[in-house]
Structure 1
Amino acid sequence: MTTNSQQLSLQGRKATQARDWRTVDDCANKLLRLSPSNPEGYFFKGLVEKASQHPNIASEAFEKALSLDSARYDAAIELASQYVIAMRNTEAIALLENYTSNLSNSPRYLDMAGTIYTDIGLSSLALPLYQKANELQPGIDLFSANLAACSIFLGKIKDARDIYLALLEKNPLHQRNHYQLSRLERATDDHHIVQMKAVLEQATLPPHRNIFIYYALAKELEDLERWDESFHFYKQAGDAVTTVSNYDVSKDETLIQKIMDTCTPEWLADRKLSSPLGRQDKSPIFVLGLPRTGTTLTERILASHSSVESIGETKYLESIMRTLSGIPSVEKMTPEMIDALAPMDTTAIANGYLDAVSYLLGDKPLFIEKLPYNFLYIGFIVKAFPNAKIVRLKRNPMDSCFAIYKQPFTWAYKFSYNLDDLARYYLAHDKLFSYWRNLLGDQLIEVEYETLVNDSENQTRILLDRLGLDFEDACLNFEQNETATTTASSVQVREKIHSRSVLRWKRYEEQLKPLRTHLEAAGIRVE
């Protein structure tokens, strides 16, 4: 590399750290004018396109850099990150497998490789990379936080707790770390509550920037049975998000009605093929429903069976359908997407989805996809996968709504932050499943959370029988299943089954009166 090239490389790397993409692009162009075969120029081009959210163009640039210098591990890891966005997961994994051994002196790319593995549901492969990044460069908060989160996914709760305590000792004002710590165990005293209230008193942020400390306080106050004070902070959190969410529940009500209007018996009967091409050996079980209704519990029970494996919560079905629709919406589903998808041969959905998840599948005949909001796609699921089973979890309406209200889902479930929105969404969801219940027959299996936790062995036997499976004792000992889980219930699933959450809403009966009134006025029985 010439002196000019070295100077441009140094300038480009400094600009990258400053996220000055115009300068990075300028350096790339100058490098390539000096030498069209300079891998650094293409690497910079890839970074610019990555920052501009152009994964296909970024991939081409990183591929070119690698073709010119196969030792460029930075280009390889960056390329893997772009492959994941394009759902080219098998290729991404191949890059990681080939290059992670070259990262022994690069904590940044060790951490990035770990994040890629985490994003595609391979937390067990991510953990040693995060650990190595922290060993090489201790004291980097991002590396520590990623290691802590991965530890939670893998059930290493004590390790995660130690990391969060160290992070908070270093920065006591970090609200999200307080929230993560609060999730890891039940509060038995108000020591952490006092600390968090002090943080809140010092905060000069607008309310929507304090939501994680609100949720953390509410959760620990609930642990201590200080119900009124707990609800005060849950409401503060929900109100804070509502002010900035720009959410209109009527749009979701319209969407759910559109699903029912489109996915008619006649539409479902028009199946081009009986199964995806060449995929008769794999049958999916879609575990779904409203969040916080027992979907993770059910997944863990089923995944403990010798004939079943879980691929966790993936968004590949959503991504495939968005891509096929040709509509670049940020929403999970829209009426326009339904109109675009409805006339299509759903074999494309099935094969696209199975291609995307193939790297997660072993040799077991059944696999679970557990993403609660897949209920939006049931019509397309049963048309694309005629042999699929739909396991829908349902729970006491008040417990269901309140459990959702208590959880910071960011933007995954925008209806969750306001009790009126929650009630309206619940009613639309209930109407949707009344529709599917009449239409799908035995293909829809409904499981009541309360019955499952109070009569676990009998209900597990019934569920397995509905799925055509023999009973196995391992299904009752799901807490011994060491596979990763990345859901909001990642801590609770390490516990034995319990009924502590049944009728939890009764502790907040006065505060939840408006919710109850709304549901009962629509004919929903809450007791």
Structure 2
Amino acid sequence: MTAAPLADLQRLLAIRDRGGINTLLADWLDRDLAVGDRWAAFAEILAQHGEWTLALRAVRRHRAAAPDDRARWFGEAVMLARAGRNAEARACIVPLLEVSPQDTRLAHFMGALSSEAGLFDDARRYFGTVLDADPKSGQTWLELSAIHGFTQGDPLLDRLRRTASDAVPNAARAALCYALGKALDDIGDIDAAFAAFAQGAALVATERRYDAAADRAQADAAATAWDGVALPHFDGAAGSTRLFVTGLPRSGTTLVEHSLASHPAVAGGGELNLLSMIAREAGGVGPDALAGFARAGRGQGALTGLYDHLVGERFSPGVRVVDKTLDASRMLGLVATLMPDAPIVWLRRDPLDTAWSCFHTYFARGVPWSWSQETIAAHFALEDRLFAFWQARLGSRLLCVDYEALVTDPAVWIPRIVAHAGLPQDPRTLAPHETERAVSTSSVAQVRRPIGRSAIGSGDRYRRHLTRFLDAYSG
């Protein structure tokens, strides 16, 4: 490969020309340009752009250059999983495991994929393979604990306790603390469970710092930019292919998404995080950014088209896709303006229960405010203010769903949510635990159970440990 094409790519990367980068790399793929081992790096760029078709082509080109390199096959499996193709990723890993059944990296990955697919027996077997070879693998213990119900006298609990008391590398210590906390919570040892979660949170907080000022500034900007701005009228969601479910993490958003995805006309998109790409393309989240985009000679339809294209990279044409993007509250002005037919569902849950659920969840990425009680309270207060703002601005377009009411009377609330989405009623939405689909959030085990009230009041058991949150939040 000559220096000239690479220079073109470097220039486009420098100015962050997403469309130009994609077009250039697509051309290189079409021409089968010889780029050496760079296809893996190019695949990652395309994946970050949400261009999964091109990303998979690139990673397969990388693998084809050395077909006996098992690491490249694994790279393809990882890309398939990131693209939401769980079954294809598992199929890609199977022949590798047949050759190397004791490879802990392959076994852990297969365990995680199996867990997401609801194949818990398979997941336990793969995770067991990892722990037999590497008993101090914190991430494996963490994922196993999510699908295992610990009991008094449980041999697995005794093994986990022994591991946690040993010297463990710092990289694994935090995840191991969360796994132990979950196990202790299962058996009702409240004080010890909280201590384990708090230790894990303190370890993570040193690595993933929360910028309170930036969070507050972002929330202020989202409200200020759209205050007093006329929004398009919402006539209902019939015919819309876009559907947004939002709310704080651990507030019931996955339950609503899974229920809607049980409808034959709907696919659960999970945390697509496409709105941030739209905002970057527009140059911001406010009406001034949209006006500037228009002055540059590009209509708002280009942004909507980009969103639909990125959704189409993962889902079949015409299917209703639930977008459960985190922090959508900061970008609802874009949604309301660019997609006037898209309904929005906002989940609200008891603050103490939500705070406790966030605090004891080891989030794989993002959510930097979740590692201390005070920062949880600060972020909750910002989201409360944004909820009040958008509820007043969006009117009937925003359906507020109380989590406690939802799980207490799902036969009332789920049909209401389905109707708000502009869908015909379907009994499968009332039994989402029977739906077979991959779920990659921390609710991986909960969504496989019938809807119930067991999580109501979960924070009360830890109330005396959560006074810092209660004091900060009430203040």
TM range (shorter): 0.7 to 0.9
Query: What is the CA–CA distance in structure 2 between the aligned matches of 1:404 and 1:372, rounded to whole Å?
Result: 13
Secondary structure in 2 matching 1:245? coil
> Aligned-pair distance for 1:106?
4.2
1:60–1:472: structure 2 CA closer, same or farther, 3 Å change rule?
closer
Aligned pair in 2 of structure 1 residues 316, 108: CA closer, same or farther (>3 Å)?
same
The TM-score with structure 2 as length reference comes to: 0.86
The equivalent position to 2:160 in structure 1, one of 196, 199, 213, is 196
Which of 247, 257, 274 is the equivalent residue of 1:316? 274
User: Which residue type is aligned with residue 420 of structure 2?
Assistant: R
Q: Distance in 1 between matches of 2:37 and 2:433?
A: 39
- Give matches, 1:237-276, under 5 Å: 237-266=200-229, 268=231
| Change over 3 Å in CA distance of 1:281–1:100 after alignment to 2 | farther
Q: Which among 292, 296, 311 is matched to residue 254 of structure 2? A: 296
Quote the Cα distance in structure 1 between the aligned partners of 2:115 and 2:309: 29
In structure 2, do the counterparts of structure 1 residues 69 and 247 end up closer, same or farther at CA, with 3 Å as the change threshold? closer
Q: Is the 8 A contact 1:285 1:389 kept in 2?
A: yes
Q: Does 2:94 align with 1:136? A: no
Matched, 1:450 2:404: yes
Shift of residue 338, structure 1, vs aligned partner: 5.1
Task: For residues 274-322 of structure 1, give each alpha carbon's deviation from its aligned partner in whole angstroms, at most 9, with x where no partner exists.
Answer: 99xxxx9642111111001111110111111233222232122212322
User: Structure 1: any 5+ residue segments left out of the alignment?
Assistant: 1-31, 326-335, 522-527
Alignment CA distance shift 1:246-1:66 (3 Å): same
In the other structure, the counterpart of 1:406 is 360
Mapped to 2, the partners of 1:80 and 1:245 lie a distance apart of: 26
SS in 2 for 1:361: coil
Deviations 1:440-467 (CA, angstroms, capped at 9, x unpaired): 0111011111111111111112222223
Matched, 1:178 2:178: no
The answer to whether the Cα contact below 8 Å between 1:311 and 1:367 also exists between their aligned partners in 2 is yes
* Structure 2 equivalent of residue 218 of structure 1: 181
Q: For structure 1, which segment, 75-84 or 416-425, has the greater mean C-alpha deviation from structure 2 after superposition?
A: 75-84
Residue 415 of structure 1 and its aligned partner are, at CA, apart by: 0.8
Decide whether aligned partners of structure 1 residues 237 and 188 sit closer, same or farther in structure 2, where only a CA change above 3 A counts.
same
Aligned pair 1:236/2:184, yes or no?
Answer: no
Q: Percent sequence identity over matched residues? A: 22
Work out which of the residue numbers 420, 432, 441 in structure 2 matches 1:487.
Answer: 441
Amino acid at match of 2:402: E
Q: Which residue of 2 aligns with 1:341?
A: 289
Give per-residue Cα distances to partners, 1:12-68, cap 9 Å, x unaligned: xxxxxxxxxxxxxxxxxxxx7xxx79xxxx99xx9xxx9xx9998899689759846
Instruction: Report the Cα distance in structure 2 between the residues aligned to 1:396 and 1:156, rounded to whole angstroms.
Output: 31
Write the distance in 1 (CA, Å) between the matches of 2:42 and 2:442.
30
Q: Is contact 2:51–2:313 with CA below 8 Å preserved after alignment?
A: no
Aligned mates of 1:92, 1:427 — CA distance in 2:
39
Q: Give RMSD over aligned pairs.
A: 3.5
CA deviation after TM superposition for structure 1 residue 374, in Å: 1.9
Q: Which has the greater radius of gyration? A: 1
Partner deviation per Cα, 1:317-368 (whole Å, 9 max, x = no partner)? 212322442xxxxxxxxxx765873533443332211111113333545321
Structure 2: runs of 5 or more not aligned:
295-299
Q: Give 1:85's aligned residue.
A: 48
Q: Deviations over 1:258-285 (max 9, x none)?
A: 111001232535x9xx99xxxx964211
Aligned length: 458
Is the 8 Å Cα contact of residues 121 and 312 (structure 1) preserved in structure 2?
no
139-148 vs 116-125, greater mean Cα deviation: 139-148
Tell me the SS of whatever aligns to 2:192.
Answer: helix
Which residue type is aligned with residue 341 of structure 1? A
Structure 1: how far apart are the matches of 2:208 and 2:131? 29
Shift of 1:468: 2.9
Distance (whole Å) between structure 2 residues aligned to residue 66 and residue 466 of structure 1: 44
Pick one of 103, 109, 113 that aligns with 2:76: 113
